[in-house]
Amino acid sequence: MSAANDVIQSNDSSMTSPEPGLWRQVMSYSQNLMLVRHKIEPGWAGAAHSHPHEQLVYVVSGAIQLTVAGIPRKLQTGESILVAGGVEHQASSEQAAEVLDIFAPFREEYATQ
């Protein structure tokens, strides 16, 4: 777990690739909150899924398509959305993008990566 007041730098070399076209850096987190940085390659499409965590999605650069509870949306640089826990959602991108995700509480499976 991140210690309070630790500074975590964005670092592409510390990113992992949980699936083709998606790169992940787990940044600061506690048991209640987690910040995760994702870099997305053009053409990536994630699987539809849900999880009990609330998720804030913020598009740092590029654009993504995000379907939440069956409603498709396009999110562009500077836009954000809240995905409630337990709601099915799916993301994809036709272009390179960078996204920050904030989860509450933290995602234990991400913390072990």
Domains of the chain in sequence order = 38-111 (2.60.120.10)
Which carries the bigger pLDDT value, residue 51 or residue 14? Answer: 51
DSSP strand E in the chain: where? 16-19, 22-29, 34-40, 54-61, 63-68, 71-76, 80-83, 89-92, 97-104
**Taking the model in full, what pTM does it have?**
0.93
Q: Which residues contact 84 (CB under 8 A, 6 or more apart)?
A: 54
Which residues on neighbouring strands pair with residue 75, listed in sequence order?
64
Q: Could you give phi then psi for residue 97, rounded to 5 degrees?
A: -150, 155
Whole-number pLDDT of residue 5: 77
Contacts of 108 (CB under 8 A, 6+ apart): none
pLDDT, residue 112, reads 76
Residue 69, amino acid: A
17-63, pLDDT tens digit by residue? 999 999 999 999 999 999 999 999 999 999 999 999 999 999 999 99
For residue 96, is pLDDT > 80? yes
- pLDDT band (50, 70, 90) for residue 113: low
C-alpha angle with apex 92: 19 to 103, nearest 5 degrees? 75
